[in-house]
Amino acid sequence: MIKVLIVDDEPKLREGLRTFIDWGAYGYEVVDTAANGNEALEKYQQYHPDLVVADIRMPGMDGLQLIEKLRTQDPNLHILILSGYADFSYAKKAMTHRADGYLLKPVDEDELKDYLWKIKLTIDEEKASEQWKHVTTEWNREALIQSVLTGEDEEDPTPLCERAHEVGISGKVFQILLLAPQMEGDTDAQINALIRKALVRQFEETGRGWVFAIHSKFGVLLKEPLLSVELTGIYRELAAELADLGIRYSVAIGEKVGCMTEIRESYRTACDLVRRHFFLDQGTILTPDSLSAGTDPVAGSGIGAVSGRGTGSDANSGASPSMSAGPELSTDELGEQLFYAVDIGNRDAVKSLLHQLGEAYKAEGAMENEIKNRYVELLTTIFSKALKQSPELQNRSKEFSDGYSKIQKAYSILELNGQAEQLLQQIMNQLGEDGKHREVKIMLDLIHRNYSENLKLETLSGIFNYNSAYLGKLFKNTTGEYFNTYLDKVRIEKAKHYLEEGLKVYQVAEKVGYTNVDYFHSKFRKYVGTSPSAYRKQMNHA
């Protein structure tokens, strides 16, 4: 509706004119009335009307003075003059201030209606022209940004800063922000419109920058850098607005640059971040700092980090001694350790190994789809191995098939590891229900990884909250060997390896956990049938 303000010092005429015609039928709405020029100026500031109908003669500030003041605030304001006198000089002055018409009192209804129709047509044309100008500016601005980012602007001889100014682009520091929908095929027009609308609301309507589309992505040319807290808030608001679209997307922001000619560098950085979203994304806007940051807050050193059954309510939680880290492992070795961690129920090691596995694939330069396929292959192998120990797992094959599908749809390495961890947890739960003497498996793990330490059955019994005699019997029944015998055999096997490498006897004794060299001699002779020195010579001459 076209807003109207009526100004007249005569109350009856003022109120009469408000009800004189059905303003709404002609597309108008009388927002208020004013009794004099000063009040009219106040009401103008309050309502910003499109049309002012004002008496030309009023005490204090007359109609002509009011028009002059209103024109300084709004040159395009439409004005109808009312007068009780057929005064040509007043009418002439009113026309010099570009009044739309001059009405004599008492107002003729048909004459007023004619003016209203003409003014409405003019206002409609002005709005259409302004809207077209705005749309054209938006098109030209978006086309300019696109041409700079793609390099097509280099053929234009007009200075870039001049062309940028013509379409309303100004600023001292620029950045490119990209929103890239992550979905198979192209997004449909409705989704594209909703994404663009959300970006316009977040950036253009708040004066932060200008929205554009490029290569199946949406971008924003930011006119000034945003603080990290602002980026976090914007991401949350965007997520809320786009939640119902059912699509995944990544949002990245490029380097800061000092002028329009350099925004392509910012765009390249943002594109690189989007391409690597699978490794970098953590549910926030990706920044150049993301390239040097890790993808997973979980740090660990593999299966040796914790040797008990994970965390939570398990009996062994938090009580197991820590292990040494060891060298970096290949993806195949990590896969083997992952099964072993599942087999002994070590949740912390599973989490850490999955993280290492993702980092290893990343270091290899593996692509997203390749990584997903290799994860599924590895998990299938682990499931098959676990199935031999617990045939009941066959009843859960459908759950695993669904889990593999979720892995293929994982948006980031964090999400992929989370899905894999859930599947492996199901295996661990089932093995925990079916497996007998799992404590012994953990003890064997401890022996093989910590044979050089002062391992004692009494110490382990405290860890597992068992009587040492009972734990020793359990170990013997499961392995067929007494604890100390098994430990000695592992140590001697390791000692043979070190002797073959040429280490001296006392060095070997220390490395495999014997503080007394003579005691080591006796143990070695007992299990090998010869002394350590003789064994080393024998191997050197073999």
Which DSSP letter does residue 200 get? I
Percentage of the chain exceeding pLDDT 90: 40
| pLDDT score for 162 | 81
Helix%, strand%, coil% for the chain, nearest 5: 60, 10, 30
262-302 confidence digits (pLDDT tens): 999 999 999 999 888 888 766 778 888 876 654 433 233 23
Largest CA distance in the chain: 135
Please report how many Cα atoms fall inside a 13 Å half-sphere around the Cα of residue 347, on the Cβ side: 18
Cβ 447 vs Cβ 455: under 8 Å: yes
Percentage of the chain exceeding pLDDT 70: 87
20-63 confidence digits (pLDDT tens): 899 999 999 999 999 999 999 999 999 999 999 998 888 888 88
Nearest to 412 by CA among 510, 212, 273, 311: 273
Judge whether residue 64 has pLDDT over 80: yes
378-387 confidence digits (pLDDT tens): 999 999 888 8
CA 272 to chain centre: 15
Report residue 459's pLDDT band, with 50, 70 and 90 as the boundaries.
confident
Query: Would you mind telling me the total number of residues written for the chain in this entry?
Result: 542
Q: Which residues of the chain form CATH 3.40.50.2300? A: 2-107
| pLDDT score for 388 | 83
Which DSSP letter does residue 202 get? I
Higher pLDDT, 137 or 81: 81
Q: Give the CA distances from residue 298 to residues 9, 171, 289, 348, 355, in Å, rounded to whole numbers and listed in that order.
A: 77, 41, 19, 10, 7
Report residue 319's pLDDT band, with 50, 70 and 90 as the boundaries.
very low
Which DSSP letter does residue 348 get? H
Among the listed ranges 308-317, 388-397, 430-439, which one has the minimum average pLDDT value?
308-317
| pLDDT score for 168 | 82
Report residue 517's pLDDT band, with 50, 70 and 90 as the boundaries.
very high
116-126 confidence digits (pLDDT tens): 999 999 999 98
| pLDDT score for 277 | 85
CATH topology of domain 163-292: Alpha-Beta Plaits (3.30.70)
| pLDDT score for 70 | 93
| pLDDT score for 508 | 95
CB atoms within 10 A of CB 261: 15
Q: Which residues of the chain form CATH 3.30.70.270? A: 163-292
Query: Beta partners for 80?
Result: 53, 101
Q: How far is residue 258's CA from residue 171's CA, in Å, rounded to a whole number?
A: 9
Structural tokens at position 408: 């293929």
Among the listed ranges 52-61, 130-139, 217-226, which one has the minimum average pLDDT value?
130-139
Report residue 167's pLDDT band, with 50, 70 and 90 as the boundaries.
confident
Q: Which residues of the chain form CATH 1.10.10.60? A: 451-540
Element of type H or E holding 253: strand 248-253
Q: Give the CA distances from residue 182 to residues 145, 249, 328, 425, in Å, rounded to whole numbers and listed in that order.
A: 23, 5, 33, 29
Structural tokens at position 23: 């303003």
Judge whether residue 241 has pLDDT over 70: yes
Domain at 2-107: CATH code:
3.40.50.2300
Q: How far is residue 191's CA from residue 187's CA, in Å, rounded to a whole number?
A: 6
Query: Beta partners for 211?
Result: 220
97 residue type, one letter: H
State mean pLDDT over 242-271: 90
| pLDDT score for 433 | 62
Can you give the three-state secondary structure of 77-99, one letter per residue? Answer: CEEEEEECCCCHHHHHHHHHCCC
Judge whether residue 495 has pLDDT over 90: yes
Pairing between β-strand 175-182 and β-strand 209-214 as defined by DSSP bridges: unpaired
Among the listed ranges 94-98, 363-367, 430-434, 497-501, which one has the minimum average pLDDT value?
430-434
| pLDDT score for 425 | 92
Q: How far is residue 64's CA from residue 67's CA, in Å, rounded to a whole number?
A: 5
| pLDDT score for 380 | 92
Between helix 189-199 and helix 228-242 the angle, nearest 10°, is: 150
Higher pLDDT, 422 or 331: 422
State mean pLDDT over 157-185: 82
Q: How far is residue 108's CA from residue 104's CA, in Å, rounded to a whole number?
A: 8
State mean pLDDT over 479-485: 92
Cβ 163 vs Cβ 254: under 8 Å: no
Report residue 310's pLDDT band, with 50, 70 and 90 as the boundaries.
very low
Name the residue with tokens 């391409």.
275
* Average pLDDT taken over every residue of the chain: 84
Report residue 335's pLDDT band, with 50, 70 and 90 as the boundaries.
confident
| pLDDT score for 280 | 77
Nearest to 174 by CA among 149, 197, 202: 149
Q: Which CATH architecture has domain 451-540?
A: Orthogonal Bundle (1.10)
CA distance from start to end of the chain: 104
Name the residue with tokens 């009526």.
6
State mean pLDDT over 509-515: 94
**What is the Cα gyration radius of the chain?**
41
